[in-house]
Each structure stands twice: as structure tokens, then as C-alpha cells.
Chain A
Amino acid sequence: MTLALLLLAGLFLPLYPLSILPNALLQGQLSAELGKGSEWRRAPAFKMTLLLVFPMIGVGLATLAMRVGAPDARLLTLFGVWGGITSVLYAFRLLSAKDGEIWISHLFTSALALIWIGIAYGVDPLLPAIGLSVSLLPLVFLLEQLTQRFGIARSGLYPGLCCRMPWFSHLFVLAVLTAIAVPFSPSFFAVAALAFGGVAADEVVVLLPICLSWLLWTWAGVNLLTGIVWGIPRDDLVYRDLDPQRAIGVGGGMVVLGLFGILLVEVAL
């Protein structure tokens, strides 16, 4: 029963190969296969809901598994190692992702798989899971804005947006930084909470995947910025910047996220 619950949780806190399903959902691949009438599954609201709800369900199932029967420490370590490998695998694959939907889904999997390290080594997983998932929300919103303007959110197709869409670009930079766990974002504090909390049990198993994934996220984040924000803008496109009021609203949301991060670390450590 415990094993079944943990495996089920592996669908929501993605563990490879169970991660294929949430990835396909986040990339809208399943909706395309289901045909007409399922376009709502590509909508950002649906993706944001998935990003928020999946980790909650995963953490809930993992907690239930712990309560149902105290799992063997070796089993938990196995899940911790599995989570670490999944995280590094998806972080590595993130390096070559150019499509916005693929980028978000791979980062989501890489980040949330780290929660297993927390679960395996006695760190309360709820706040880090929330921190890692909410950090992706601004980027999902802004990638959707790109899709609305250019038909697709993809790195390399319309570089140099900072010269043509400054409001959008400033927010996009902040959103990418928030997603890849730079300081003051909830994901930074979530990663710190996992590392600081889990290190007591096994230094190498905890720190190695966290550090590797974190490094690869940075590289992937810069790749995304290079293909969208930096460079020489194309002249054959029509650019429409974000409305300043809306941009200020999103920026305010990011400040709130930063404050949430500080709260997270206060509670976690």
C-alpha cells in the first residue's frame, strides 16, 4: 500500500518515467490527441492550475504513504535518489528546449522531483513544493502573452524583444530568474530549505542533484533569454508591448512571491 501510494505520488511529483504524463499534459500534447473541444487544456489557467495542484496532490499522497505504514528507510532513500536522477535528467534536457511549453514542463519536472529528496530525508515537503511551483507561474503567464502575439512561444524566432517590448522584457527577465531559483524568489528559498534540511541525512545524495540541477537551470534560463530578450530584433514583425498597468500588476505579484520566499525560509529553517 505504501509503495503504491508513493508510486502514485510519483505521477504528481514527477519521477521518470511517470513524469511523461504530467509533461504531456503541460505541453498540451494530450489535448491535441483528444481532438476538438479540448483546446481549453492548452489555456494558461489550466496549466497554472496543474502547476499548483499537482505538487499538492503529490505531497498529500506522500504524506499519506508515511502515515499508512512507516516506510522502510531504504525505500525512501531509493525514492530520494530516483527524484535526484529525474531532476538532473530533466535539467539536462532543459538545455536544448526552445519551445515555451516544453521549457516549462521540463523545469517543472526537474524542480518538483527534488521534493523527493526532502521527503526521503525528513524535510517537510509542503512549503518547498509550493515555493517551486508558484515560481513558475509568472513565466507561464508571459509565455502565453508571447503565444498571443506571435502565435508561438519559442526561443530564437523573434530575438531582441528588449528593444521593442521593454515592459514585457523586464518582466520576462524577472520571471525567468524567478523560475530558475535566483535569490529572493520562492524557488531559491525552497532549494535552500531542501539543501539545508536534507543534508543531515546524506550529504552527497542531497547536495549533488540539487547543485547540478540548479546549475543547469541557470544555463537553460540564459539560453531562453538569449533567444527572446537579447539580440537584434526583426523588422518584419509587429510588436505589441504589455500595457504598463498590467505590467506593474505582474511586477507586484513577483514582489509578493519574494516575500513569500522569505516566509518560506523562516518556517522551513
Chain B
Amino acid sequence: MIAYAAYLLPILGLVSACVVLVSAERLGERVSGISVGFSLAIFVLALGLFIEQVALGHGQLATLGISLFSLYVDSLSALMALAVSTISLIVHLYSRRYMRDDPAYTRFFVLLDAINAMIMLMVLAGDLLTLLLAWHSIGIILYFLLNHDTRREAANRYAFWTLITHRIGDLPLMAAAALLYYSYGTLSIPVIFDAIAADPSRTSVFGLPITETVGMLVLLAAFAKSAQFPFHTWLPYTMEGPTPVSALMHAGIVNSGGFLINRFAPVFVQTDSVLQIALLIGLVTAIMGSVMMLMQSDIKKALGYSTMGQMGYMVMECGLGAFSLAIFHLIAHGVFKATLFLDSGSLIARARKDPNLPEGEIYKFMVERKAPKPPLSWVVFAGITIAVPLAIVVAAHQVVDEGFLSHQGAIILLLFGWITGAQTLFFVYKIGGEQPFKLLGYVILSFALVILTYVLVGHTIDTLLYPDPAFREALYRAASLPAPLFTLLMLVLVTLIAAGWLLVFWSTARQEPLTRRYRDLYLAIYALMSREFYIADLYGRLAGSMLARSRRLNALMRWV
């Protein structure tokens, strides 16, 4: 019964779009009230659905008696529906005031409702064709939302980048769906997963196992939607759309990749070498996104690259077998990124009115470039920086789940937690300030709280989404590397990172930054990064060349 109630989630969104469209002339700007009302109803319904699903435990399929439009309600879809409806409600409420003077007010709300309906359909899809249909529609509607200002050439250009990248991601998903349909003779997602579990050894293209092929295709689809390298260029450039659209995109749509990988977990669990590719691509994306974020002076573009980095981390978590952590990550990221985007609009407005920055320790460090004298010997501080975060991270995991450290993926995640914590402590060392030990205490306390919450909530979501411990183990196993290779990799990584920190501490203590010592190398890397590794330029050249060749070919063939 609750599965059938889930039909209301996409239907209400579509009804809202239609009602807004037909009432716009009569109600004017008040029409947004209708959209917000429907959004609230969808949120309440999604909350009810989630509570019911948690109580029920197992998944349910609802069909209309045709091959299309079946819905599958399980813990993953119910949780995602709740997350999507929450973000959508926040965006709706914000847009009401923010978009008030916009001439295309009605069109904006119609498209906003339509895209929410399609996202709901995607997360609830019970058959491959419905999933494909919704996955595809999201890219199309997003194109129109990003092209909100129809007169701006830049908005049109970047909306096109988004659409074409999303379309590139649609194609592998279609191929995966077609292969699964051919292999198992059904479109129903839960039936296919049961069949895969019973017989995972079927082959497809070039005699490869169907699970490996489909897994790779699903990953490609997820990479395009979640802005993974080399499909990332659309994400940071889509700031031409209204701020609420940026918020919705960065907090919701871009997370679709993480959802898709989780939806296909029963396929990935049968693979041997696919998740390692996700780890590699996620790692590259996370590093590139984070590095390029640091290069930006435009707050919205910096947030865009930050999203790219976070998406890389999310995909990397999947690549490590920590599927449910990716879901937790995407929800947490969605909430904080929506807030950041929505706040960035008012922050920019405030900065335009009052350009004076408050003069504090960070101002002195960032703007005046005055580095205070370090409070402690660099050796002692380096010791604290390296040891304390590691102790916190290990202890938090041991408290929640003792067996956690037996997984390779968990160890790599710990490594990242350690790096993050140590980096924060290093920043405390660099900015110094009047009360460095008080600041250090706050940072360590906050870090401990964040890590403990992360581990606790992650563990809870893990048992909610994948209640079968054997399945969770199998996911970690599918993502694991051969033990000697893993050990070697970890040793190299830890040595490199620790040596890097020591070097930076040492140079900072001597007041001789590495950027001065290796100036030429630094400038070369800076130039490369400021051009964003020339990837967007490369795509631009490629597109221009294709258009020119198409023209030449048409002229040669006399256009018939």
C-alpha cells in the first residue's frame, strides 16, 4: 500500500507545475504559494513514507499493470525521497522572495516543480525504462532552468555544456538497461537484482561478465551526472542560472550519481575490478576539485569546484565499498551546500553595500599576508597535528564498529579523515593568533564531534540501507585490492603525506615558504591550474572542429 502512495510524490510535483501554469495569469506572483504548498505536501508525504518504510523493513514494488512507471520503495528510495523533498522545500521557500521581480517567475516555478517530480521519479523508479526516462528528463529540464535568462549568451552556452554532458551520461545508462533487459528478460529492477544474485555469471559484450559491463556503464552514467573527471567542466560554469537553481543543482541533482551507484549495488557486489575505477576517478576528481576551488576568487565558482571535490569524495567512497557512506555524504553535502549557495546570494549583496572586511586574525593572514610567530616549536606542533587527528579517527571507529578497520575501504577513509583533521590543525599553526591553544582546543573538540557523528550516523545509515552484514562485507570485498598492493600503497601514501607536512612545517617555521623556494615550478603549476588544466579549452576546440568538419562535409555532399 505505501508503495502506491509513493506515486503521489512525482504526481503532486507535476500537478503543481500544471496548476502554476494555468493560474499564473490570474494570481500573478502569488502563484508561488501554490508551488510552495505542494512542496510542503510532498515533504510531509515523503517523511511519512520514510517512517513507514523504516518500520516495514523490506522493499515493495508497485506497478500500474504496464511495463512503464512502476515504483520501488525501499530504504534507499524512501531516504532519498525525503532528502530531495527537504532540499526542494528549502529552495522553494527561498525562491519565493528571491525570484519575485523576475519576469520569468512563472516559468521558473513550473520548471522547478517539474524537475522535482522527475528527481522523485528517478529515486523511486522500479523499472529500467522509468529510471532512464527520469534520468534523461532531469538533464533536459535542468537545461531550461540554467538558461533562465534567455538573452544571455553565456547562460545559453553553459546550459548547453550541462545538457550535452548529461546526455553523454544518459547513453551508457541506456546501454546498461538494454543489456540487462536482454540478459534477464525483464525491466523490473528488483527482479533483475534477484536474477543477478542467482546467476551472476552471464556474459555480454566481448564475452565479458554482464555485471562487469553493466557496472562500468552505470559508473560512466554516474560520472557524467556527478561531474567526475573528465565530465566535470559543466558544473563550475553553471553559475549563470538563478541562485536557487545553483542550490538545487549542487545540493540535489549532482548527487544523482551516488544514488545510481547505490541503486545498482547488487550489480557492483558481483564485480571484481569496476569499483577500483570509481576509486581512481573519484580520487582524481576530489583532488582536482579541491585544488581548483582554492584558485577561485568568485564565491559561487569556488562553491562549484567545492561541489566537484565533494562529488569526487562521494564516488571514491563508493569505490571503497562504503556505499551507504556515500549516501550519508550526499545528504550532508546537499544540506550544507544548499545553505551555502542560498547564503552566497545575500553575502554578495551585503559585500556590494559594504566592501570593508572585518579586521581579525584571518583578515591579517589572508589579506595583509602577515603571518604571526608560531606559538610552539614546529616539531611539537607537527607531532600534535599528525598524532591527534589519527587518534580521534581511530578511536571513533573503534567505539562504533570494532570490525570496521578490517576493511581496506575503511582504512583509506580513515586516512582522509586524518588528512582533513591534520590540515585544519596546520592552519591553526599558520594563523597563530592571540590565543592559539584555545583555538587549538576548539578545533580538536569540533573535529572529534564531527568524526564521532560521522561515524555514528554513517553506521546507522549503513544498517538501514544494507541490513544484511554479508552483503556489506561483499561490497567491501568487491572494492578491495590485493593485500600486498594495498599495504604498499598505504605505506607510500602515509610516508608521502607525513613527509609533506613535515616539510611544510619546517619551511613555515623558517619563514621561507616553499612557493618562494621553488618559484618557477610553483608559477607553472599555478598557471596550469588557473586555466583549469585546459580541459574546457580542449572541449571547446573539439566542438569547434566537429562543427567545421560537419559544414565541410555538407558542402561536399551538397546538403542532401
Q: Which residues of A line the B interface, CB within 8 A?
A: 19-20, 23-24, 27, 29, 92-97, 99, 102, 105, 160, 162-163, 173, 177, 182-184, 188, 192, 195-196, 199-200, 203-204, 206-207, 211, 214-215, 218-219, 222, 226, 229-232, 262, 265-266, 269
Contacts and interface: CB of A to CB of B under 8 A. Distances in A.
A29 B151 contact: no
B483 interface: no
A184 B133 contact: yes
24 contacts: A20-B560, A23-B560, A24-B560, A27-B560, A96-B550, A97-B554, A163-B151, A183-B133, A184-B133, A192-B129, A196-B182, A203-B182, A203-B204, A211-B171, A211-B174, A215-B164, A230-B147, A230-B150, A230-B156, A231-B153, A231-B156, A266-B67, A266-B68, A269-B67
Nearest to B159: A222
Among A94, A192, A265, the most chain B Cβ lie within 10 Å of the Cβ of A192
B547 A96 contact: yes
Contacts of A94: 550
Among A188, A204, A211, the most chain B Cβ lie within 10 Å of the Cβ of A211
B167 interface: yes
Q: What does DSSP make chain B's interface, helix, strand, loop or mixed?
A: helix
B137 interface: yes
A96 B171 contact: no
A99 B559 CA distance: 10
Contacts of A160: 150-151
Contact of A199 (B68, B129, B181): B181
Contacts of A183: 132-134, 136-137, 140
Contacts of A222: 143, 160, 163-164
B54 interface: no
B551 interface: yes
A24 B134 CA distance: 37
Interface of B: 66-68, 129, 132-134, 136-137, 140, 143-144, 147, 150-151, 153, 156, 160, 163-164, 167-168, 171, 174-175, 177-179, 181-182, 187, 204-205, 546-547, 549-551, 553-554, 557, 559-560
A120 B291 CA distance: 50
A204 B206 CA distance: 9
A93 B150 contact: no
B553 A92 contact: yes
B300 to A, nearest CB: 22
Nearest to B213: A203
Contacts of A269: 67, 129, 181, 187
Contacts of B137: 182-184
B182 A200 contact: yes
A53 B344 CA distance: 56
